[in-house]
Structure 1
Amino acid sequence: MKTLTDIVLGLIALEHVWILVLEMFLWTHAIGRKTFGMSRDEAENSKILAANQGLYNGFLAAGLLWGLIGGAWQVKLFFVGCVLIAGIYGGVTAKRSILLVQALPALIGLLLLLATR
């Protein structure tokens, strides 16, 4: 069960590294605009805010990776909880699909993590 939990948390961390790349470096490029459904002007006008969001997603990934490398259950719990809360908030306030893409994997990871305790 611990191995499955670590795999899920690792995948969540990788997802957030990818979100960091999208938001910080690809926001105004075709793939970023397509991913987030924006026009060229919308992307240009919001690229600084997106880079800030990307940085925060990078911190979530770093925290999960820290927990995985260090093996600290509490660190994993804190960061997967942060991902879950961010996913719920984003799903309610920004785009409903964030609930599936971010919050659901985090909920699964959280439940698996709690089951290993």
Structure 2
Amino acid sequence: MDLVAKVLVGVVAAIHVYILVLEMFLWRGPRGRAAFGTTPEFAAETATLAANQGLYNGFLAAGLVWSLIADDFAFAVFFLLCVIVAGVYGAVTVSRRILVVQSVPAALALAFTLLAQ
């Protein structure tokens, strides 16, 4: 992968590490509630579910980081596609904002990754 593609893959990985932190550790606090627009009561009731979602975002980040460390084109493409699909599903079922935050950066990273080959 070329440098621009690697930087974009790294940005997508960083976004997912941030989402992991929000969902696993900050969900009940003011930052987590503000990011997801939840009430203290809802956040308390759904903290376990959010932590589970955060873990999955961590797996996406780990796969993307591995693709950078191993310089593995196939891993990068696979995990970027996973992020795009997750973002599209989230946009359809939860909020269109997820498309912008998750799928658009991953699509850009995927485009540059494919162009670098």
- TM-score bracket for the superposition, by shorter chain length: over 0.9
- Where structure 2 has 5 or more consecutive residues not aligned to the other structure, the ranges are none
Distance 2:114 2:70 in 1: 17
Secondary structure in 1 matching 2:28: coil
- The higher-RCO structure (CA 8 Å, 6+ apart) is 2
Distance 2:91 2:109 in 1: 18
Distance 1:68 1:105 in 2: 16
Distance 1:36 1:8 in 2: 24
- Where structure 1 has 5 or more consecutive residues not aligned to the other structure, the ranges are none
Q: Which residue of 2 aligns with 1:51?
A: 51
Question: Which residue type is aligned with residue 94 of structure 2?
Answer: A
1:1-117 map, 5 Å? 2-117=2-117
Secondary structure in 2 matching 1:57: helix
Shift of 1:116: 1.1
Aligned-pair identity in percent equals 49
Secondary structure in 1 matching 2:62: helix
Question: Which residue type is aligned with residue 52 of structure 1?
Answer: N
After superposing on structure 2, the runs of 4+ consecutive aligned residues of structure 1 that deviate more than 2 Å are none
Distance 1:88 1:113 in 2: 20
Distance 2:24 2:84 in 1: 21
Shift of 1:96: 0.7
Secondary structure in 1 matching 2:8: helix
TM-score by length of 1: 0.98
- Say how many residue pairs are matched: 117
TM-score by length of 2: 0.98
